[in-house]
Every structure is written in C-alpha cells, then in structure tokens.
Structure 1
Amino acid sequence: MAASFENTELLKKTELKSSVNLLHRLVDGICHRPRPAYDEFSKIWSLQDWWALTDTYTDLFKEAVKNTWTKDTLFEKLQGLDDDYKSVVFDVVDSRRADIRSQLLNDSHALSQANMTDFDWKLKLVMSSDKISSVQEPDLALDMEVQTTEGRKTVSVELNKQQLSNLINSLEGANKALVQLKS
C-alpha cells in the first residue's frame, strides 16, 4: 500500500532556514519529545493546513525510515517541493534516522509486554457432538506459556481449521513486519 503525501508543498510557506528547525521538531514529536506548537506558526498556516503539514511530514518520516528510502525515492515523494526544500527534508531524515527507527521499534514493542516462552499443541479429531451425530472435524488444542510483567501464565485455546489458518497468517504477517523493522 503506497502512502500518499499530498500536502508536502505546504512547507514552502515558511523560509528554508525555519523549515529545518520545524522538521527537526516534528521528529522530536515522533520521539515523544515536545512537538512544535501551532501558536508559533499561526501567522503562516491555518489550523487545517498546520494539521495537514504535521501529519504529512510525520507520516513521511516514519515511512522513509521504515522502508529505508533512498534520496531518490524521497525526492519522488516530495514532487511539490523545490530541490532546496527536498534536500532539507532528506538531511533531516538522514541525520535523525537512528532516532526515528529507535522510536518506531520502541512503539511497536510497547504494544505488548507479554512474550511467549513455550508452547504445546495437540491435534484432536472431533467425531460427533451432542447436536450432530457425525462431525469428523479436526481441532487443535494450543497451550502457550506467556511471560508477563506479573509472572508466567498459561493461555489455552482450541482452534478449528479456519481459526488455525487465520492465526498462522497473522503470525506470518507479524514476523514479516518484525523482520522488516530489524533490517
């Protein structure tokens, strides 16, 4: 899915020198430090333009680091800007790449403090139920040992064929995202 960065040209409303400071402060916002306040820039942009500008560049910085964009790729995404502004944006991304990457990893890690330490599985064939005399459907019993901040606990789930397929697809997607972030 290609992200759209339609409001990049809004940066041209400020001087080149001011844009460097603004972009670095937007990266600070990504890193959970103080972001630039609208009050400082209310004479340059309307509130809607300000939101569009900050959202666009915040998303652009995250995508550029996550997908390890080259200078040429970044310049392609910034079609509405002059080369001087494109160079400023690239310099900010390049100089703050480690900060942004570290924060993206921390944010994704903070989603869950639980780690699976072990698992056990059993495959069962359900032959019948109290409502149907002949079912013959496979079920998987999955026991997972999970380490949380409160200690260890066992999570048990029983999955039919479709649920197991969905779980495997979700785990493969999570693994791909993790591999992409690590590279």
Structure 2
Amino acid sequence: MPNKSLESISNALTSEQVFLEFLNRCIDEICGRKGPAYEVFKSSANWSLEEFKEFTKSIKIFFYEAVTKHWHKDELLENLDDLESSRQQLVLECLKIRKDEINVALQRDTCAISGPVLEDFDWSLKWVMGSSKLSSLREPLLTVDFHTSQGREKPTSISSETKPKINTVSLELDKQELKTLVSALQKAQDVLTSWQS
C-alpha cells in the first residue's frame, strides 16, 4: 500500500469485525454498490475524514491491483506490509472470498469503455386497432426498451457513489421492422461467434 501511516489508521478500527465490515464496504464500492460511509465508521474509529478517505482509497487500490495484476500470496503480503499480521490475514480472506466478484465488476467496467453496454431490456406487445381515419387497421406493435449504461469510475476515486448512469432507448416496431432487427442481431451474434472460435 502506498502510505506507511496506514497501520496506525487501520488500528484505529479496534474491532476486527468492524475492520472486516470496512473491507467489504470497499469491495462493494468497487462492484458498484454503496461503499463505506464516514458517518458509519467514525464512531468505531478515532480518525479524521482525511484519514478515512486516504485509507478507503488505499484499500480500493490494493484490491484493484491485486485482481488486475494477479498477485500471488507473497506479492499480496508485500503490499500489505503496512498492516499488522492479523489485519493482513483479514484482507487476504476478504480478497479470496470476493475476488471473482471484483473481477466481474472490473471486466464490466473495461467493456463499458468502448460505449454503452446493454444492462437489461423490457418488451411489450400491443395491438393497434385503428383510428378514426383507419378503422380497419389491426397491426401488432412491439415496444422494446433497452437499458444501457456507461462504465463506473475507477476505484482510485474517493467518491462514495459508483453506480453507472442508466439510459433507456425505446423502440416501437411493426412486424417487418422486428424481422429486420432480429436478422441484424443474428448477424452480429454470428460475427462474435466466429471471432471467439
């Protein structure tokens, strides 16, 4: 970890259970959920807001680098030499349990660099029964909402909110437009499949 005063900061969290909770909140923030809040942890530790931010940032950078650089145990311990051994073991256990989750979040952020990423979609089918001018019109229309997002902030930031902004793109398609869309998506899938093989 980058700062040699981190041992005294981490020791401010006297309870190992509180320290473990703090580590999990840091990982939650990397994964796009709510991170550690100063108000929650200040009662368990005697540290300033600046120390809290510094320690949070250092822990998040450690987890980020440990996963992206595939550190082995010796490298992990070398980068945790600022902490006492019991705290090192808690960090290692936490990393072991949640490494896959961190990896998925980082891959998702990397994929999002190139542009919007599809998060989810909703669809509904309606029948247009006609209007005063076209009383005999009966046509099915498909409404599709694509929910897309951009990547999250890098874990080196101190902000407590890393959720991606969700944008919704809505389409209303008749039968022919739907066939065209499905055909285009199948072609895109075929291209991706050929790249993977």
TM-score by length of 1: 0.58
Change over 3 Å in CA distance of 1:7–1:103 after alignment to 2: farther
Change over 3 Å in CA distance of 1:75–1:20 after alignment to 2: same
**CA shift at 1:6, angstroms?**
4.0
**CA shift at 1:5, angstroms?**
4.8
Post-superposition Cα deviations, 1:36-65, rounded to whole Å, max 9, x if no partner, equal 211012242200001001000000000000
- Match of residue 171 from structure 1: none
Q: How does 1:140-155 map to 2 (within 5 A)?
A: none
Give the Cα–Cα distance (whole angstroms) in 1 for the partners of residues 66 and 26 of structure 2: 14
- Match of residue 10 from structure 2: 11
For the residue of structure 2 that corresponds to 1:110, the secondary structure is: helix
Give the Cα–Cα distance (whole angstroms) in 1 for the partners of residues 11 and 52 of structure 2: 13
Change over 3 Å in CA distance of 1:81–1:32 after alignment to 2: same
Aligned residue identity for 1:59: I
Structure 1 residue ranges, 4+ long, deviating more than 4 angstroms after superposition = none
Aligned residue identity for 2:49: L
**CA shift at 1:105, angstroms?**
0.6
**CA shift at 1:4, angstroms?**
2.9
Query: Residue 26 of structure 1 contacts residue 35 of structure 1 at CA under 8 Å; is this kept in 2?
Result: yes
Give the Cα–Cα distance (whole angstroms) in 2 for the partners of residues 30 and 78 of structure 1: 19
- Match of residue 87 from structure 1: 89
Calculate the aligned-residue CA RMSD, in Å.
2.5
- Match of residue 40 from structure 2: 40
Query: Residue 8 of structure 1 contacts residue 81 of structure 1 at CA under 8 Å; is this kept in 2?
Result: yes
For the residue of structure 1 that corresponds to 2:114, the secondary structure is: coil
Aligned residue identity for 2:51: D
Query: Residue 20 of structure 1 contacts residue 88 of structure 1 at CA under 8 Å; is this kept in 2?
Result: yes
Give the Cα–Cα distance (whole angstroms) in 1 for the partners of residues 61 and 94 of structure 2: 14
Give the Cα–Cα distance (whole angstroms) in 1 for the partners of residues 5 and 67 of structure 2: 19
Change over 3 Å in CA distance of 1:5–1:61 after alignment to 2: farther
- Match of residue 187 from structure 2: none
**CA shift at 1:22, angstroms?**
0.9
Structure 1: tracts of 5 or more residues without a match: 115-148, 153-183
Aligned-residue identity in percent: 29
- Match of residue 31 from structure 2: 31
Aligned residue identity for 1:82: E
Change over 3 Å in CA distance of 1:11–1:98 after alignment to 2: same
Structure 2: tracts of 5 or more residues without a match: 117-168, 170-180, 185-197
Q: Does 1:102 align with 2:104?
A: yes
Q: How does 1:127-166 map to 2 (within 5 A)?
A: none
**CA shift at 1:25, angstroms?**
1.1
Query: Residue 28 of structure 1 contacts residue 34 of structure 1 at CA under 8 Å; is this kept in 2?
Result: yes
